[in-house]
């Protein structure tokens, strides 16, 4: 979309604006979730939508995550295009049967007959002192389930394009906002545009190492890149944007170019998405690697509450810099 | 409340109720036989004994209305218009089945018939039915959703969430409880402090009634009123049908068990819904014994044909079919 | 052994009339509390024994478990329960054998009818937990309980506080007999189905032993034509169908309907009416017996029903005798 002038808005406002535009664009789209109606959502991500579109299209639901997802599944199966919200990504577990056993499998179990254009929006990530049950990044749980698409935008521009694609996709998608990024700003064009699901973005080109960063870790990687550049180290940053489908080609291409890979995500390292990405890289580009693939991620503990613990728990620019240097120092 | 025409039921409807019950019974008996011969793989949960519930419920619906189902779902699909050939093929895991052999007995469905799927997770169909009912209200299309569920499912969270949400959003839905007194192999009174699931309805804000689930006319009468209520925008209602599973939770045995007595099984079998109804039809001079026999024979022939079709159908090809239908490809 | 019997219907208050009319729902938790209050009243009366029908849901058992029982023997009636109306009928017969001095029945018209079938001249305190009931009382069960207890103990003479009710005696086509407490109505159709009746266009004719202007149900149709009180030694026969009159009547809670009346006439006690099939006979508002084309039944009203204890009169009498007052 050609833009003569940059329009800088907040990540959270980009979400709200996109929802409003989607509701205007397609009468089959509706939103349902806890507090999304009159109140506008706990993070005000839905503010004003109920007033504009009414109770029929922006629906306050009970605190009932299984029924919220079920509402979306049933409505999608008979022809609507629901957006249902799980207030926090941690609540995915409460609704996991409906997500993983129902939504994800319905098409396959029914021999292809079901079409489920269902979007589940949620907020993940730590950084707000929300502690162990309101701070998790559970993408690894979701990408393990065939039938789901998993999306994690890192900036307002991608947020809009990816959300539009999710809602227009005929599969169940899980779209995760990062709650510590809601106030971040960026360029977002007016009007609807799509960013294809399954296309990574090369955020920054570089030659010395590749950092694959997910969600809020992209901005930390950018900070790390700026600091490393001052030391003469140029890193390439790849933002997968969607974790399922996953654009492994872009990552492999970069691996073949820089020969060193560091993967960074907020979820715990053990069994995290980084392990899957690393495995795929070594399958496709083993001979190109000059160092073991680095994984920068959370320690194997629940997300802690105390600011001192939480700061140390979540990867940041400093830990990314360290990870890159470790990869570089493994030379020879 | 507009009173529904009652007690005088047309001959057409009576035959329809009868036919659907017999179609279920004969299909299930055949499926049970094939399962015991290992011609049907996996688990099989037979609907024998509960035919009046699915039939009475579905005859009260329009073709376009939706139903959700349970792990004991064959009867619901047949009652909603399911055909024997693709059903039998699906039971056997054949490519010609309703689900191309990917779902099997426990996930059998046909969305074209408004059947939202048999479901391997107890209670999970309820929230999905609520979603379909939401869509009906949203589209203002005048359609109704009927959620079939067992007594056991009313102890699981998804059921409570769905029932509450349906009432909170005032949706066009009928909650159709098949209370067969056993949650798998555990008697209801060991796991519930109440006897009547209908008692729960008031807690969500809907009327709940009890009918004899072995009497198809009783089920049909109640279902008609509940469906009419839903269609008129009067919101959800619950019908608890007291019924019984002639066979075990899974498989084709039913007697000599520790969890229920043979005497009890035999007592319920004396109230076989098809035999009861055929006696009523004979007394009303609607259908005599001979006519009933002809109908059984005609349906049995259709089933035999379906078995032959299924046996001669190809299995799905792993090289081709394994990875299709996981996702909907962009058109 | 001075005995009060208790019978409760496990199914009362839950039928399809919650959908077709606006009847209230009576959950079992409520029923148990109502029974428990009555039992406390019975215990207060100083009775020796409570004998009860241990129904399929153990409603009474559960009601009795939670109360201080004093010296009162709580004894379940020994019988196999089937979960239908026969349970109440058999229990009533057992209570007659045990010479119970009063029987408290929790249920609707249907349950009381079952009890009357089991024990024709049962001394009865009928307490409503059913639907649109004509026969039982809508009253606080604590008082019903103690009144039953005082009568059963002989503190209050039954003859002084009870009236023998009318019943409609029915000779069925197969030679068996049956009875209704309030009304016997023939409707078009071939099925018992969900038992309730809500489509008045199907009504054909009815015999009414009671037709009071203050009750809802089918008997309200007759009441619009002529009031027949419990104590009146007459009944009424009404033929429905297109004729010279229509009436508006509350045939179910909150449900007024227009009913076409062809004819009606008073019935003397003992006067026999023949009802010809086809159709379904509803006893006290519930379809229960299918009549084919070539079948017929005969019916007449008699005063051979239960002795219904007037609890108000019983308590007035007790208080008049300073029964509850002790000088200090």
Q: Judge: B211–C15 Cβ closer than 8 Å, yes or no.
A: yes
Residue C146 CB contacts under 8 Å (≥ 6 apart), including other chains: C41, C42, C44, C45, C315
Q: In the predicted model, what is the mean pLDDT of residues B154-182?
A: 97
Q: Are residues A206 and A183 in the same domain?
A: no
Work out the pLDDT band at B99, boundaries 50, 70, 90: very high
DSSP A156-193: HHHHHHHHHHHHHSSS-EEEEEEGGGTT-EEE--SS--
Q: What is the count of structural domains for chain A?
A: 2
Rounded average pLDDT over B231-244? 97
Q: What is the DSSP letter of B315?
A: P
Coil, helix or strand at residue A140:
helix
Strands A149-151 and A119-124 come out as unpaired
Q: What is the pLDDT of residue C130?
A: 62
In the CATH hierarchy, which fold is given to the domain comprising C3-165+305-320? Rossmann fold (3.40.50)
Residues sharing a CB contact under 8 Å with residue C69, sequence separation 6 or more, in sequence order: C43
C191–B222: do the CB atoms touch at under 8 Å?
A: no
Residue from B1, B2, B4, B7 to probe the interface with C (highest C Cβ count within 10 Å) = B7
- Residues of A with active-site annotation: 65, 134
C164 φ/ψ angles, rounded to the nearest 5 degrees: -80, 125
Of all residues in chain A, the one with the smallest CA distance to B140 is A56
CA gap B202, B197 in Å, rounded = 10
Ranges in chain C annotated CATH 2.60.200.30: 167-302
Q: Which of B195, B201, B239 sits opposite C28 (nearest CB)?
A: B195
Do A and C make contact via 3 or more CB pairs under 8 A? The reply is: no
pLDDT above 70 for A167: yes
Of the candidates A155, A181, A178, A204, the one whose C-alpha atom is nearest the C-alpha of residue A8 is A155
Arithmetic mean of pLDDT, B285-305: 97
Assess contact for C100 and C5: CB atoms under 8 A.
yes
Q: Does B258 touch chain C (CB under 8 A)?
A: no
Q: Under an 8 A CB cutoff, do C27 and B229 touch? A: no
Q: Is residue A275 part of a domain?
A: yes
Residues A119 and A229 in one domain: no
DSSP reduced 3-state for A3: coil
- Asked if residue B76 has pLDDT above 70, the reply is yes
Q: Could B9 and C27 be called an inter-chain contact, meaning their C-beta atoms sit closer than 8 Å?
A: no
Q: Is residue B218 within 8 Å of residue B252, measured between CB atoms?
A: no
∠ CA(A230), CA(A233), CA(A239), 5° rounding? 105
Among candidate residues A152, A187, A222, the one where a domain is terminated = A187
C25 interfacial to chain B (CB closer than 8 Å): yes
Give the separation between CA C310 and CA A280, rounded to whole angstroms: 87
The residue-averaged pLDDT of B48-68 equals 98
Determine, for residues B1 and C16 on separate chains, whether the beta-carbon distance falls below 8 Å. no
The answer on A143 and A50 residing in a single domain is yes
Closest CA to C213 of C247, C184, C180, C260: C247
Question: Greatest CA separation found in chain A?
Answer: 64
The shortest CB-CB distance from A115 to any of B103, B139, B328 is to: B328
Quick check: helix, strand or coil at residue C72?
coil
Looking at the structure, do residues A245 and A309 belong to the same domain, yes or no? yes
Over the stretch B184-206, which tens digit does the pLDDT of each residue have?
A: 999 999 999 999 999 999 999 99
Check if B329 contacts C (Cβ < 8 Å). Answer: no
Distance separating alpha carbons of residues B234 and B167, to the nearest angstrom: 10
CATH label of the domain that carries residue A229: 3.40.50.920
Last-in-domain residue among A142, A159, A187? A187
Q: Do A169 and B330 touch (CB under 8 A)?
A: yes
Contacting residues for C62 by C-beta, under 8 A, at least 6 apart: C32
- The arrangement of secondary structure in C167-302, i.e. its CATH architecture, is Sandwich (2.60)
CB of B116 within 8 Å of any CB in chain A? yes
- pTM, full prediction: 0.95
Asked whether the bond before C143 is cis by omega within 30 degrees of 0, the reply is: no
Which B-chain residues 308-327 have CB contacts (< 8 A) with chain A?
A: 324-327
Provide the CATH number for the domain around residue A46: 3.40.50.970
Nearest-neighbour CA in chain B from C36: distance (Å): 17
Domain assignments of chain B as residue spans, ordered by start: 11-314
Claim to verify: residue A124 and residue A242 sit in the same structural domain: no
Residue recorded with tokens 């508006």: C248
The Cα A321–Cα C150 span in angstroms is 92
**Alpha-carbon distances of C123 from A19, A137, B170, C130, rounded to whole Å:** 71, 72, 47, 20
Nearest to B50 by CA among B33, B63, B69, B35: B69
- Section B290-295 average pLDDT: 98
Residues B150 and B122 sit within 8 Å (Cβ to Cβ): yes
Q: Is B100 on the interface with A (CB under 8 A)?
A: yes
Q: End of a domain among A138, A155, A187? A: A187
User: First and final CA of chain C: distance in angstroms?
Assistant: 31
Same domain, A211 and A93: no
Nearest-Cα distance to chain A for B139, in Å, is: 9
pLDDT at residue B48 above 90?
Answer: yes
C69 CB near a chain B CB, below 8 Å?
no
Distance from CA of A157 to the nearest CA of B (A): 23
Give the mean model confidence (pLDDT) for residues B77-95: 98
Smallest CA-to-CA distance from C186 within C117, C259, C289 is with: C289
Which member of C15, C21, C189 has the closest CB to residue B7?
C189
| B194 in contact with C, Cβ within 8 Å | yes
What does the alpha-carbon distance between residue C128 and residue C110 come to, in Å, rounded to a whole number?
Answer: 11
Residue A113 has pLDDT above 80, yes or no: yes
Give B294→chain A minimum CA distance, Å: 34
Q: Return the percentage of chain A with pLDDT > 70, whole number.
A: 98
Residue B2 sits at the chain C interface (C-beta within 8 Å): no
B218 shares contact with chain C (CB less than 8 Å):
yes
Contact across the interface for C56 and B195, Cβ inside 8 Å: yes
Q: What is the rounded average pLDDT of the residues B293-298? A: 98
Is residue B31 within 8 angstroms of chain C, CB to CB? no
What backbone phi and psi angles, to 5 degrees, belong to A182? -60, -30
Question: From A102, which residue of chain B is nearest by alpha-carbon distance?
Answer: B124
Assess B165–A contact: CB distance below 8 Å, yes or no.
Answer: yes
Which of A72, A97, A115 is opposite residue B121, by nearest beta carbon? A97
8 A C-beta contact, residue A273 and residue A139: yes
Across the interface, do B217 and C191 touch by the CB < 8 Å criterion?
Answer: yes
Chain B residues with beta carbon closer than 8 angstroms to that of A75 = 131-132, 134-135, 138
How far apart are the C-alpha atoms of C219 and C236, rounded to whole Å?
10
Give the CA count within 13 Å in the CB-facing half-sphere of B146.
Answer: 37
Tokens representing B88 are: 């039998």
Residue C69's φ and ψ, nearest 5 degrees, are -100, -10
CA distance A315 to chain B (A): 33
A25 and A167 share one domain: yes
Asked if B286 is an interface residue toward chain C (Cβ–Cβ < 8 A), one would say yes
Give residue B2's pLDDT band: very low, low, confident or very high (50, 70, 90): very low
Q: Where in chain C is CATH 3.40.50.10330? A: 3-165+305-320
A71 close contact with B: CB closer than 8 A = yes
Mean pLDDT of the C239-252 span? 94
B286 CB neighbours in chain C (<8 A) are: 190
Contact of A228 with chain B, judged by CB distance below 8 Å, is answered with no
Structural domain includes residue A238:
yes
In a domain, residue A306? The reply is: yes
Q: In chain C, what residues touch B195 (CB-CB under 8 Å)?
A: 10, 28, 56-57
Distance from CA of A260 to the nearest CA of B (A): 33
Q: How confident is the model at residue A331 (pLDDT cuts 50, 70, 90)?
A: low
Check CB contact under 8 Å for B199 and C29.
yes
Same domain, A91 and A116: yes
Lowest mean pLDDT among A44-53, B259-268, B306-315, C66-75: C66-75
Residue C85 has pLDDT above 80, yes or no: yes
Question: Do B211 and C16 count as a contact with CB atoms less than 8 A apart?
Answer: yes
Average pLDDT along chain C: 94
The answer to whether C3 touches C51, Cβ cutoff 8 Å, is yes
Give the per-residue pLDDT at A5: 79
Least reliable range by pLDDT among A35-39, A243-247, C50-54, C127-131 = C127-131
What are the beta bridge partners of residue A30? A82
Q: Which domain holds residue A31?
A: 8-187
Q: Does an interface of 3+ CB pairs under 8 Å exist between B and A? A: yes
The per-residue pLDDT for C132 is 63
Task: Say which of B101, B124, B134 has its CB closest to residue A75.
Answer: B134
Distance CA A110, CA A89 (A): 28
B107 and A77 within 8 Å at the Cβ level: the answer is no
A-chain residues near B327 (CB < 8 A): 107, 147, 149, 171
Instruction: State which residue of chain B sits closest to A33, comparing Cα positions.
Output: B165
pLDDT per residue as tens digits for the range B307-328 = 999 999 999 999 999 999 999 9
Q: Does B276 touch chain C (CB under 8 A)?
A: no
> What are the tens digits of pLDDT across the range C36-58?
999 999 999 999 999 999 998 99
Residue in C with minimal Cα distance to B283? C292
Smallest CA–CA separation between B262 and chain C, in Å?
A: 15
Architecture of domain B11-314: 3-Layer(aba) Sandwich (3.40)
Residues C45-66 as b/e (b if ≥16 CB within 10 A, e otherwise) read bebebbbbbbbebbbbbbbbee
């Amino acid at each position: 979309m050609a833009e003569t002038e940059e329009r800088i808005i907040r990540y959270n406002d980009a979400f709200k604006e996109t929802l409003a535009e989607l509701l205007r664009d397609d009468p089959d789209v509706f939103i349902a979730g806890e507090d999304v109606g009159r109140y506008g959502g706990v993070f005000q991500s839905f503010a004003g939508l109920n007033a504009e579109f009414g109770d029929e299209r922006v629906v306050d639901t009970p605190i009932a995550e299984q029924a919220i997802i079920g509402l979306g599944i049933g409505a999608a199966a008979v022809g609507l295009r629901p957006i249902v919200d799980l207030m926090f990504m941690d609540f995915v577990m409460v609704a996991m049967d409906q997500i993983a056993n129902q939504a994800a499998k319905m098409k396959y179990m029914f021999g292809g007959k079901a079409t489920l254009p269902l979007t589940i929006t949620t907020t993940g990530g730590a950084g707000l002192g929300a502690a162990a049950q309101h701070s998790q990044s559970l993408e690894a749980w979701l990408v393990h389930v065939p039938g789901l698409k998993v999306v994690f935008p890192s900036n307002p521009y991608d947020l809009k394009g990816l959300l539009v694609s999710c809602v227009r996709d005929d599969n169940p998608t899980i779209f995760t906002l990062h709650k510590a990024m809601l106030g971040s700003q960026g360029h977002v064009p007016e009007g609807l545009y799509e960013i294809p699901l399954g296309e990574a973005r090369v955020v920054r080109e570089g030659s010395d190492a590749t950092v694959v960063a997910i969600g809020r870790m992209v901005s930390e990687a950018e900070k790390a890149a700026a600091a490393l550049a001052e030391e003469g180290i140029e890193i390439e940053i790849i933002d997968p944007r969607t974790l399922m489908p996953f654009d492994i080609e872009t990552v492999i291409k970069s691996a073949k170019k820089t020969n060193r890979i560091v993967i960074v995500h907020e979820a715990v390292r053990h069994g995290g998405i980084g392990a899957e990405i690393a495995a795929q890289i070594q399958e496709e580009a083993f001979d190109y690697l000059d160092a073991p693939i680095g994984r920068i991620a959370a320690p194997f503990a629940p997300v802690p509450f105390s600011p001192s613990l939480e700061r140390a728990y979540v990867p940041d620019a400093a830990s990314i810099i360290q990870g890159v240097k470790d990869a570089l120092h493994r030379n020879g | 409340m507009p009173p529904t025409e009652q007690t005088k039921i047309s001959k057409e409807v009576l035959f329809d109720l009868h036919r659907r019950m017999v179609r279920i019974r004969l299909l299930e008996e055949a499926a049970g036989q094939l399962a015991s011969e290992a011609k049907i793989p996996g688990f099989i949960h037979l609907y024998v004994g509960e035919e009046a519930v699915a039939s009475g419920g579905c005859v009260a619906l329009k073709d376009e209305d939706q139903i959700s189902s349970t792990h004991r779902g064959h009867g619901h699909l047949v009652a909603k218009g399911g055909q024997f050939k693709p059903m039998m093929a699906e039971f056997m895991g054949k490519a010609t089945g309703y689900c191309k052999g990917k779902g099997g007995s426990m996930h059998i469905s046909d969305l074209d018939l408004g059947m939202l799927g048999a479901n391997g997770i107890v209670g999970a169909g309820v929230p999905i039915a609520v979603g379909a009912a939401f869509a009906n209200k949203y589209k203002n299309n005048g359609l109704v959703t009927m959620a079939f569920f067992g007594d056991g499912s009313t102890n699981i969270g998804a059921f409570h969430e769905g029932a509450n949400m349906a009432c909170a959003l005032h949706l066009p839905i009928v909650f159709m409880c098949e209370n067969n007194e056993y949650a798998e192999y555990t008697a209801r009174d060991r796991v519930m402090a109440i006897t009547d699931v209908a008692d729960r309805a008031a807690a969500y804000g809907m009327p709940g009634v009890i009918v004899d689930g072995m009497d198809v006319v009783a089920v049909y009468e109640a279902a008609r009123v509940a469906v009419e209520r839903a269609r008129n925008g009067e919101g959800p209602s619950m019908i608890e049908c007291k019924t019984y599973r002639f066979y075990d939770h899974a498989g084709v045995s039913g007697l000599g068990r520790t969890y229920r007595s043979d005497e009890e099984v035999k007592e319920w079998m004396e109230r076989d819904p098809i035999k009861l109804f055929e006696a009523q039809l004979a007394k009303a001079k609607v259908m005599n014994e001979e006519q009933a026999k002809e109908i059984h024979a005609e349906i049995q022939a259709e089933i035999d044909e379906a078995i032959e079709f299924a046996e001669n159908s190809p299995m799905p090809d792993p090289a081709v079919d394994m990875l299709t239908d996981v996702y909907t490809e962009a058109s | 052994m001075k005995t009060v019997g208790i019978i409760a219907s496990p199914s009362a208050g839950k039928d399809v009339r919650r959908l077709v009319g606006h009847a209230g729902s009576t959950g079992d938790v409520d029923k148990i509390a109502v029974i428990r209050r009555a039992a406390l009243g019975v215990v207060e009366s100083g009775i020796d024994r409570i004998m009860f029908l241990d129904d399929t849901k153990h409603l009474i058992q559960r009601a009795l478990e939670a109360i201080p029982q004093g010296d009162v023997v709580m004894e379940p009636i020994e019988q196999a329960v089937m979960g239908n109306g026969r349970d109440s009928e058999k229990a009533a017969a057992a209570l007659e054998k045990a010479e119970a001095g009063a029987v408290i029945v929790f249920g609707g018209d249907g349950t009381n009818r079952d009890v009357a079938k089991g024990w024709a001249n049962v001394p009865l305190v009928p307490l409503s937990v059913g639907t649109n009931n004509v026969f039982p009382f809508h009253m606080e069960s604590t008082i019903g309980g103690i009144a039953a207890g005082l009568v059963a103990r002989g503190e209050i003479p039954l003859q002084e506080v009870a009236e023998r009710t009318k019943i409609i005696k029915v000779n069925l086509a197969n030679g068996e007999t049956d009875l209704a407490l309030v009304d016997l109505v023939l409707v078009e159709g071939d099925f018992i189905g969900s038992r309730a009746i809500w489509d008045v266009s199907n009504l054909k004719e009815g015999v009414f032993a009671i037709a009071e202007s203050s009750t809802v149900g089918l008997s309200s149709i007759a009441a619009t034509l002529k009031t027949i009180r419990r104590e009146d030694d007459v009944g009424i026969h009404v033929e429905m169908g297109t004729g010279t009159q229509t009436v508006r009547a509350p045939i179910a809670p909150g449900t007024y309907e227009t009913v076409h009346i062809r004819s009606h006439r008073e019935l003397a006690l003992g006067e026999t009416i023949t009802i010809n099939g086809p159709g379904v006979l509803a006893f006290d508002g519930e379809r229960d017996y299918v009549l084919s084309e070539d079948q017929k039944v005969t019916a007449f009203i008699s005063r051979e029903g239960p002795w219904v204890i007037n609890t108000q009169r019983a308590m007035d009498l007790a208080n008049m005798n300073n029964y509850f007052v002790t000088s200090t």
